[in-house]
Structure 1
């Protein structure tokens, strides 16, 4: 090379001419390139990679990478004179070549040699230094717009370069950054050397930015701000990298511009994936806060259309629901409230109902296992305060049950869309009709179009179709039948009517009319009779009190009655008859005689443990006006005749169970009227010894207990109807499997009006309970009666 440098231009021209005449141009070029490659391999590449030392100091890593690129670029410039001479030889080559071809470009060939030599000696830790270089530069770039504001707030350290404000190096870092990128671009090493590091660094930056921006913020849409950030920050930074410092793509070649656009599409997809993943992690909270969190649901809906993460959503949300909601520590009303929020949010997220169907299956199974679910739902329906279910009830939509029926008359077959790919294939939907309708569209020009179309509609009417029901219908479909809800409402209505002190039914009539629009009039006929009983009771009571023959008898205390039609009201909880004091019973007998005189051949059968009694109690130092139940009133009236009672003696006089009486007596003990002197012995307290609670508070607590039998108790009583049939069958046939027992019960015990139905799973539980009670024996799969 020294000889080349010492040659004058005239000598080199003569030498080049001799090489051309001898046809040695290609040979000389190969020899020179070979020596250059050897020099790069043994000297340049090791010196370049020697700078890539693993260090945790980011500033040190920035300087090392810049120094390595600078050293490589210096070596490149040293070889430029040699490359120019080779280019001169090529122009005078004996064989004509295309100077525009990349393969015939000496400089391009040299750069290829440089890249190949460097990458063949690639060390394992090289990405650490590159990452530190671009991380510092990216941080300076991101904070360049607000650096002045940050400096005014924090006069100690610059957040861009992490140096003191007086020694800020942001401008210098930006300059060195652009210079380094320009040199890498000129050497065509930028993409090969730093491409993976840039991608990884940008992915980390995008993920951190999404987490910081969207963490627990659900009431504002974040997609558009995130897209703007990606365009103005990330893509602007990339353009500056590939353009050597320019902020516009006009300085780039078409190839680089297309590469940046493709990279932008990949980064945009990664942004959506990251945002979707974070929103899925927060989806349980988003559902609980719905509808305030609707912007987050809208964002997630858009993201799910662009990313394939529906299965991840279903799995993660089900796990969150099981962990945070479906356990004994959560009250049933709270679970129902969360379920309603999930219905509304998931219907908005996926109008097809597929996600709702898949996600809420564990909630439905868990709600079916809780005994108070139906009561919680009915209470929410009838709640006078604002609630989701009360608002839904006012809408007055018809109940939509999953009974396999579908109203396809209103379907617009031209707008038919198939179920999503993640729909449950185990549940048949409108597949056949959809196929036929699609065939109709394809065969629209053929003469058999009308006949195929008619067949499609006929089969469609018989097929099942996914219809997203309203909230109340969805809750009813948890049990698959509306009978449980109607019976629970009937029990709740009975509790309300029996607990009030007047005949006012306006609120209950309004609720009943709303429920009739949902469940139908036939289902609620009993409830109509119950309300009519209240109205008739008011009229009859007024007639009795206006009867002169009744008024001629001295009424020791005012008496009013709620007269019930026994066959229409649900069964009562108490199975014992309270014996009232004689003074009370005599007054009730007078009321019965007046009723018989008014109604002829009809009479009254009192339920003495039900009702309300207004008492005025006078003691030595105080006077109490209080409303209590008949059993409470009977207890205290007996202490009027006798100051001290043993619990067992009082229970015999009142014909009440001692266990029930012990609990009722504590009411008067808490009021300071009674005192337990010894075990189950109570004495009347004429004088107060302490400040007591208000009586009305205790009464309210007592009245929250339902006087009606629970739904499970009522169902148990209904199932006992089958027991006599089962005993008869096993007596005659010795032993039977459960399937045959079920078939025979359907044939003989479940026929006629008012018959009780029993499914196979419920029958199995009933028979297994009889086995545990030793009333049945189970041998293999056959049930039989125990031998006496």
Structure 2
């Protein structure tokens, strides 16, 4: 029995020469008949599994010590791409050749397994000899993975990818003129593109057959494709905002990248029909990952250029549409908010940018971000620094109101014409107008406390809500309207009435009641002026010069800036007195109180060599009229005569100096110029006055005067109650001082600033959190 067993083992060693560490090809191999007899003896002795395990073990040892080291020796860390291409090809060819020599042994093992009586599951890896062999090859090779193994793999696939990408891009005209092939970087006459493609497909076929393609080159393929996608997206989309790029990018990914991948996995075929279901599913999953990376890369580029995209909106709407789609597929909202806020702070919110430009950029941001995210969450997060900065600028409200009333095409003027009602952030939701069937929850990054505020989509409402109140805008409009009405030379109010009607649809009639009275004053002034001039008793007094008046209802107009009263020349004052008498005769118990520094004066100035027709303010007219009586005036003397501050008068005198009528001979001494020199001679007899200033008090001055209304209430409260906290003071002011039409409102922060200023002025004392009056 022992001799029989030893004989079987000798026959097994001849059948499987690797067991004796001989060469795989040996002359002493057994014949087919001998192997058939051996297989029958092995089956009878039930040694099939033992033989299989020991043979597989010796194969694994042989691959570990002889095949794997030879394969990895060729993986050099070289920078020569051509040498790297050749090394990887040679390594794969030798590996494939060495492993192919094991096929006869594997067939014999398979024959032994088929000859045994035990029924096995052919789908199991353990019961598939070839699958088990390839698993051993992969595990053994990857266990000896060198540090720089990806270097020559990258060279190989980079050259192949370059050849593939440029194989269809050559035209007849280009190929004739070019000396070097774009694909293989060789001379056109020695082009090796076809050879590279053939080697590429053969190498991939061998790796696929050994099931090494994904494990060995998967990371390199992914890295190369990612780099190619990034470069292509940058070249295609950099600073181009007026054309949608998503569809061309998706087509490029499908026709170039995925086509190349399919050729890799199919060994050269361009369609997935020839592939197995497993490989086809793997390619589809890889395509999903690459599509996500494409969207991610495109989103990053668009986010980096988002500030420019917003400034160019609506021309850049295709880029915004692309970005909206990408944001739905990638999670980069936080990156967008952070980058855009940083760009806004560095490029927009600094003293070098004019307020109208900031307002224009803010309007563009509102429109673009609303289109990008209809929920308003992005708009709320991104524009918060803009709103804070606009509140810190004194001319913001005036810039907004000027844009609203601009006759030239502008965003705000167009919005005003739409006539939508103003929507304020009062913190209450309008459940009646909300369609519950179309309701969608806010994104996860939204602030729940501001959910109702984000429903405001109107641009004008958004700008008003920067301050949280429409009073500032209404007061600014009153001031601007007063300037316009006082600066015109006629009684025409058609344009102002149109603007007022549009604003009433926005802010309501109650808010603009004072403005209606102002326009009615202009209409009444025209009628009264016409009645006075048609009065025979007034005409009998013979007007020395035509006189018309704009009669104002003082309590409805904003306060005026000047706090000094101009003394007019006697000839002018006498004419105004006649006009007052005519008005008193017409109105009975009413009279006029003149504002001598307001209005317009048409002058005809005759000099020795020229004649001027000019429209100026009463101050300028008064100055030049005094030079009719006296050709030389000292600034201080003239200031005393016309009751004007010297600083104001000096500024007004510069206008006549610039026109060549006056000359400053010494410090603050001016002389009339009867004859003009060639240097200051005017080319026309009609000249325009310097740019007019606003005659109305600034918004801050008006607000300070309004807040003084509260002071008497506060003094009364503290006199009766001794001391009070600011919250109690604010509550009582809301109850008593902020009621009725035209009442002034005051927020808690503004009241705190006002009271603190009174403390600094020693009109109040602050003890802990209680305010009280100082003891007299």
Q: TM-score, normalised by structure 2?
A: 0.92
CA displacement, residues 597-649 of structure 1 (integer Å, 9 cap, x when unaligned) = 22222111111111111122222333222111111111111122222222111
CA gap of 1:699–1:522, structure 2 versus 1, over 3 A, is farther
For the 8 Å contact 1:147–1:160, the answer to whether it is kept is no
CA displacement, residues 725-763 of structure 1 (integer Å, 9 cap, x when unaligned) = 434555666654333333343444334544322221101
CA displacement, residues 9-32 of structure 1 (integer Å, 9 cap, x when unaligned) = 344444444444444333333333
CA displacement, residues 641-676 of structure 1 (integer Å, 9 cap, x when unaligned) = 222222111111111111111111111122222222
Partner SS for 1:703: coil
Aligned to 1:437: none
For the 8 Å contact 2:614–2:688, the answer to whether it is kept is no
1:177 Cα offset (Å)? 0.9
1:85 aligns with 2:129: no
Partner SS for 1:675: strand
For the 8 Å contact 2:763–2:774, the answer to whether it is kept is yes
Measured on the aligned residues, the alpha-carbon RMSD in Å equals: 2.5
CA displacement, residues 443-477 of structure 1 (integer Å, 9 cap, x when unaligned) = xxxxxxxxxxxxxxxxxxx9957523311111112
Q: Which moved more, 1:691-700 or 1:483-492?
A: 691-700
Partner SS for 1:695: coil
Partner SS for 1:142: helix
For the 8 Å contact 1:137–1:174, the answer to whether it is kept is yes
1:583 Cα offset (Å)? 1.4
For the 8 Å contact 2:566–2:642, the answer to whether it is kept is yes
Partner SS for 1:627: strand
CA gap of 1:782–1:28, structure 2 versus 1, over 3 A, is same
CA displacement, residues 404-431 of structure 1 (integer Å, 9 cap, x when unaligned) = 3443334333333322322212xxxxxx
For the 8 Å contact 2:610–2:685, the answer to whether it is kept is no
Q: Which moved more, 1:561-570 or 1:27-36?
A: 27-36
1:88 Cα offset (Å)? 3.1
1:403 Cα offset (Å)? 2.0
For the 8 Å contact 2:615–2:688, the answer to whether it is kept is no
Partner SS for 2:171: helix
CA displacement, residues 227-253 of structure 1 (integer Å, 9 cap, x when unaligned) = 111111111111111101100111110
Note the residue ranges of structure 2 that are not aligned, 5 or more in a row. Answer: 1-23
Cα distance between partner residues in 2 of 1:379 and 1:290: 22
For the 8 Å contact 2:425–2:453, the answer to whether it is kept is no
1:712 Cα offset (Å)? 1.1
For the 8 Å contact 1:671–1:695, the answer to whether it is kept is no
Cα distance between partner residues in 1 of 2:684 and 2:551: 26
Q: Which moved more, 1:632-641 or 1:729-738?
A: 729-738
Cα distance between partner residues in 2 of 1:503 and 1:494: 13
Note the residue ranges of structure 1 that are not aligned, 5 or more in a row. Answer: 426-461
CA gap of 1:600–1:625, structure 2 versus 1, over 3 A, is same
Cα distance between partner residues in 2 of 1:786 and 1:676: 53
CA gap of 1:114–1:640, structure 2 versus 1, over 3 A, is same
Cα distance between partner residues in 1 of 2:176 and 2:461: 58
Count matched residues. 752
CA gap of 1:592–1:153, structure 2 versus 1, over 3 A, is farther
Q: Which moved more, 1:777-786 or 1:503-512?
A: 777-786
Q: Which moved more, 1:618-627 or 1:37-46?
A: 618-627
Cα distance between partner residues in 2 of 1:595 and 1:169: 104
1:780 aligns with 2:768: yes
For the 8 Å contact 1:392–1:472, the answer to whether it is kept is yes
CA displacement, residues 346-372 of structure 1 (integer Å, 9 cap, x when unaligned) = 222222222222222222222122111
For the 8 Å contact 1:405–1:463, the answer to whether it is kept is no
1:119 Cα offset (Å)? 0.3
Choose from 749, 757, 774 the match for 1:761: 749
Partner SS for 1:4: coil
1:696 Cα offset (Å)? 10
For the 8 Å contact 1:73–1:183, the answer to whether it is kept is yes
Q: Which moved more, 1:60-69 or 1:102-111?
A: 102-111
1:64 Cα offset (Å)? 1.7
Cα distance between partner residues in 2 of 1:150 and 1:70: 39
CA gap of 1:215–1:704, structure 2 versus 1, over 3 A, is farther
Cα distance between partner residues in 2 of 1:146 and 1:758: 71
Cα distance between partner residues in 2 of 1:677 and 1:495: 36
Partner SS for 2:375: coil
Cα distance between partner residues in 2 of 1:306 and 1:251: 32
For the 8 Å contact 1:628–1:699, the answer to whether it is kept is no
CA gap of 1:17–1:297, structure 2 versus 1, over 3 A, is same
Cα distance between partner residues in 2 of 1:637 and 1:163: 92
Q: Which moved more, 1:575-584 or 1:320-329?
A: 320-329
CA gap of 1:127–1:627, structure 2 versus 1, over 3 A, is same
CA gap of 1:744–1:402, structure 2 versus 1, over 3 A, is closer
Partner SS for 2:608: coil
For the 8 Å contact 1:643–1:683, the answer to whether it is kept is yes
Aligned to 1:452: none
Q: Which moved more, 1:685-694 or 1:588-597?
A: 685-694
CA gap of 1:774–1:492, structure 2 versus 1, over 3 A, is same
For the 8 Å contact 2:722–2:772, the answer to whether it is kept is yes
For the 8 Å contact 1:178–1:244, the answer to whether it is kept is yes
CA gap of 1:96–1:569, structure 2 versus 1, over 3 A, is closer
Partner SS for 2:743: coil
CA gap of 1:314–1:463, structure 2 versus 1, over 3 A, is closer
Partner SS for 2:688: helix
Cα distance between partner residues in 2 of 1:5 and 1:245: 41
CA gap of 1:45–1:693, structure 2 versus 1, over 3 A, is farther
Cα distance between partner residues in 2 of 1:701 and 1:72: 95
CA displacement, residues 379-406 of structure 1 (integer Å, 9 cap, x when unaligned) = 1111111111111111111112222344
Q: Which moved more, 1:413-422 or 1:144-153?
A: 144-153
Cα distance between partner residues in 2 of 1:91 and 1:591: 129
